[in-house]
Amino acid sequence: MPQFVIEREMPGVGQLGPDALKGASQGSCSVLRELGPEIQWVHSYVTDDKIYCIYRAPSEDLIRRHAETAGFPANSIAQVRATIDPTTAE
């Protein structure tokens, strides 16, 4: 299944505490359950003012539908074409 990186501009998100992040995660998971098993949240990276999320889904449209339903921004969505790491250099 295709994998996507979603950039969410959310000023101050890095200052949120564990309870707020838990609530946001619960909201996201609730929408994911509604949308069905075709869309999967892998994990997210929280920085000072953005969240970068990794999702698996059959299309960008389904990613956008999740964001709209959950009330999260999806400022950019890019399909992952390859994954590299230090072992790629070997």
Architecture of domain 3-89: 2-Layer Sandwich (3.30)
Q: What residue spans define the domains of the chain? A: 3-89
Helix (H) or strand (E) holding 24: helix 18-35
Mean pLDDT of 28-35: 96
Mean pLDDT of 2-27: 96
* pLDDT per residue as tens digits for the range 41-77: 999 999 999 999 999 999 999 999 999 999 999 999 9
pLDDT number for residue 7? 98
Q: In what order do the strands lie in the sheet with 40-46?
A: 40-46, 50-56, 3-9, 76-79
Contact 76, 8 (CB under 8 A): no
Whole-model pTM: value is 0.91
Question: Which alpha helices (DSSP H) does 36-74 contain, by range?
Answer: 60-70
Q: How confident is the model at residue 3 (pLDDT cuts 50, 70, 90)?
A: very high
